[in-house]
Structure formats: C-alpha cells, structure tokens
Structure 1
C-alpha cells in the first residue's frame, strides 16, 4: 500500500453515497458509536455551518479510503460568539486503518482551516488518538460542552497560538448536530 500515494481532495457532490458507505464501515465495530454518523454527515453538508473546503476525501488509486469533515460552530465567550470548527467525523475504511490516512486527513484539514482563518478546532474523540495532533483538554482553556461527556474526550486544537484561551466559554453546536 505504501507505494500508492494518498490523494486528498475536496469532496464532490457525487462522492456522498460512497462517503456514507465508508462511514458505516468505519464505525460498524465502534462501541461508542450510535451507528448514525452517516446521517449526521448528510445533515451537516446541508447546514449553514458547512464549509465545502473542509469536507475532504482520501483516495488511493480510485478507491475512497478516508473522509474528514470540519463544520463551523461557535464558542459563546464572555466577549461574544467566537467562530470555531468541529471535527466530526473522521472515518477510514477498516482495511486501510493504521496506515496514516487519518493523520494525513487531520493535518490537511488543519492546514486548510488555518488558511480560511479559523483559529480553533474542537473534537469529541479518542483521548489517546487526537493529542498527537496537538489536541488538548478543552476544559484546560475554560471551554465547556453543552452535554455530559467525560472531559478527557472533549478537546481543542489551536490553529493560532493563544486562540483557545481567548475563546473560553460554552460550545454552541448548530441544530443539525442533534436532529435525527
């Protein structure tokens, strides 16, 4: 597999059915999953927070092997709403996991988000996976989430140094994150 480069590009509309299948496969054996992530993606792609440049697919040859989506959210800080991004979901086809595809998607998404002048990315994710990409516990920056989740799973990545501390407040997710 290593001889075949990973090609990361912006998602195209016709990719959606393949993305949904990929997400279903990637989360099929994840115990913490409600196995509805593909429906979340469909809702987020048509929500006001959708940023087309931050919906990325990973390909090896002509096979879709990974997907990442960063959606605009807000942090309600003392000085007013601060735009941020939510990483949800990150999915890699099971047979391609542990080959650096997720890492490549995260790094490319961070680069593109910074180019679009976003300063922070939030994730509810695996406490042992995301810290290697610079994610830290959100509570350490005074950022709280609007639901009960153990704090070690609630993380923030600063794309701009000092941005998380300036954004201290409660995360506000668009309703698309909660509709079923």
Structure 2
C-alpha cells in the first residue's frame, strides 16, 4: 500500500479521533489526544498520521515525559502513546511504518529516548527493551517486559534511571 506519513493538521483532528475510537473501541484515547494537544507535553512534529489520498487510517503520538531519579535529577524523554490503525488497515505494516517514522523524527529533532507500555512481542522489533535495563520504572504496577525503552541515539539513556512521570492528562485513561 502506498502510504504517506505526515504531521497532523488541524483539519485532521476529527479523523484522528475516529481512527482512535475505532481501533480502541472506546473514546478515552481520542479525548486524551485532544487534551494532550493543549499541554506542555505536546510535540506537534510528533503527532503523525498515515494517509492515502485524503483518507487518514493511522495515527501515532509521542509526548514529552520526565524520568526523575532518586536524587531528583530530571531527564526528558518521550512516551509513545497512543498508536492506532483503523481495523480494516491493520496487519499491513502501517503501525510499524508510523513507529519507525516517529522514532526517526524524534531523533532528528533531538530527543534521546522513548518509552512505551506495550506488547513485548511487538515493540522489540523497533529496538525497545525492558526499561528496567536502565533502572527506569513505571509510575504504576506493570509487568517488567511490557514497560520498554529505546535509545534514539547511542548512549541516549546512559546514566539515566528513575521513575517515569507522564503528563497529567494520562491519568484519565
């Protein structure tokens, strides 16, 4: 399939909401995206859509997070969440294309790492490994293998450890 991945535009907001509602079978992720757009965590260049012609059938969002260590040092990273592909287009590589392009763009604009809470049989193909490798933990109880990190540049997480602090907007999901 000939897919174009680009940054979202204002006129895409409704279609992005529909993609997320269809993919997740609920409205919470679409509402979260709307709230994150107004937050300090939002990175406009990292809210991407997969399109063909005028149709939007995939979306990925990366937002700023903090990793706070035991000495209160603060390190900036990104959260990959949510990612959604309309059901008719799933299992065609669109999600993978969105992730690869998102990680590439994040690296290009200077981010050093990204965190994801997701399937441990899916995200490792993009370089994600358990965040515990760097002594990075989630702020909630989650299986170690499902909470993962990736260095976007060599040693992007060197000397980084601590607990991930998500934007407050995530608390509603």
- Normalising by structure 2, we get a TM-score of 0.94
In 2, the alpha carbon distance for the partners of 1:99 and 1:139 equals 31
Partner of 1:41: 33
In 2, the alpha carbon distance for the partners of 1:161 and 1:170 equals 21
Q: Deviations over 1:35-86 (max 9, x none)?
A: 5111111111111010000000000122111000000011113471111000
4+ residue stretches of structure 1 with deviation over 4 A? Answer: none
Partner of 1:107: 100
Q: Is 1:67 matched with 2:41?
A: no
**Aligned partners of 1:124 and 1:154 also within 8 Å:** yes
Paired residue total? 172
In 1, the alpha carbon distance for the partners of 2:66 and 2:57 equals 30
By how many angstroms is 1:164 displaced? 2.3
**Aligned partners of 1:142 and 1:165 also within 8 Å:** no
Partner of 1:31: none
Kindly report which structure 2 residues correspond to 1:1-180, keeping only aligned pairs within 5 A, or say none: 2=1, 5-28=2-25, 36-77=28-69, 78=71, 80-179=73-172
Q: What is the aligned-residue RMSD (CA, Å)?
A: 1.4
Q: Secondary structure at the match of 2:78?
A: strand
Q: Secondary structure at the match of 1:121?
A: strand
By how many angstroms is 1:161 displaced? 1.8
- Normalising by structure 1, we get a TM-score of 0.91
Q: Which runs of 5+ in 2 are unaligned?
A: none
